[in-house]
Amino acid sequence: MLLDALRPTATGLDQLPAWFLRLAAPVIYQPLTRLFNLSISTGTVPRQWKQAIIRPVPKTPAPTKHADFRPISVNPVLTRLMERTVVNRFLYPAFLDPPTTLSFQDQFGFRPTGSTTAALVYTLHTITSLLNTNPFVTVIALDFSKAFDTVRHSSLLHKLAQLDIPGNVYNWLLDFLLGHFHCTEYNGRSLHSGKSLPVLYRAPPSVRLCTSSRQLTYTQSLLAIYCPSMPTTHTLLFQPVTPTPEQ
């Protein structure tokens, strides 16, 4: 089912393209299913699935400096399939009934039912409601630069441990966060002489797991709403929509 639904996407260091996995699905689905189940049950992630390619993508038509590029990290297609499975089967259900120590009520980014549109509607409703009983409302918007590049794995794991997930899944997430390596590639040429460098701080780059795990630790943008009658400042957490190449 997962292989049949694969769409065209970037190929990782394992050189297994999505079209090949989709074409070979009738032959390889059984060993892949066994591999996925074994990975989750033992809480281990194959080393090859932790190696990524970072490709600088220009943010401007004529880039002249490093800041004009956006680093896009590409994991193997099988890694992304495995992440999607873990997120949909274990993390998203746990987010629906979080413990009292974790609250996602005011967070709209990186949630299965959240969106930038929902954040805007909620913000507009909150402000207009407050203006009915207050002379003014103050809105402060903040944007954190490089927020996802400094995710502390210890903080992330501490919060993941509070979710209602099986122990082997937590061990899988722990193993997934450790031992990641990357190499930078530009114009088809490796910038590290073919060697992979360790990833020490940031959350792993593949889309599915990052979008879920990040919601437990950081968000890129914060909106604070204040008015005279409010005892505390009301905050909303969300992730702005920025176009990125298909991964």
Mean pLDDT of 142-166: 75
Question: Residue 32 and residue 125: Cα distance in Å, rounded?
Answer: 48
Query: So what's the pLDDT on residue 222?
Result: 55
pLDDT of residue 157: 83
Model pLDDT, residue 210: 38
The winner for highest mean pLDDT among 9-23, 122-136, 140-154 is: 9-23
Q: How confident is the model at residue 144 (pLDDT cuts 50, 70, 90)?
A: low
181 vs 109 pLDDT, higher one = 181
Q: What is the pLDDT of residue 6?
A: 83
Torsion angle of C-alpha atoms 226, 229, 231, 232, degrees rounded to 10? -10
The segment with the largest mean pLDDT, out of 32-41, 131-140, 141-150, is 32-41
Q: In the prediction, which pLDDT does 36 show? A: 92
The yes-or-no verdict on residue 31 having pLDDT over 90 is yes
Whole-angstrom CA distances from 238 to 124, 205, 221 are 15, 18, 6
At residue 226, does pLDDT exceed 90? no
Confidence of residue 171 (pLDDT cuts 50, 70, 90): very high
25-42 and 167-177 helices, crossing angle to 10° = 100
SS3 content of the chain, % helix, strand, coil (to 5): 40, 15, 45
Neighbours of 146 (CB within 10 A): 8
The letter for the amino acid at 55 is R
pLDDT (mean) for 111-127? 79
Determine the pLDDT at residue 70.
82
Q: What is the pTM of this model?
A: 0.72
pLDDT for 209 beyond 50: no
Backbone angles phi, psi at 83, to 5 degrees: -60, -45
pLDDT digits (tens, 9 = 90+) for 3-20: 888 888 888 888 899 999
The per-residue b/e assignment along 160-194, b for 16 or more CB within 10 angstroms, e otherwise, is: beebebeeebbbbbbbbbeebebbbbeeeeeeeee
pLDDT band at 228 (very low <50, low <70, confident <90, very high): low
Question: Which own/partner contact pairs does 110-114 have at CB distance under 8 Å and 24+ positions apart?
Answer: 110/211, 110/212, 110/214, 110/215, 110/219, 110/239, 111/215, 114/238
Confidence bin at 88 (pLDDT 50/70/90)? confident
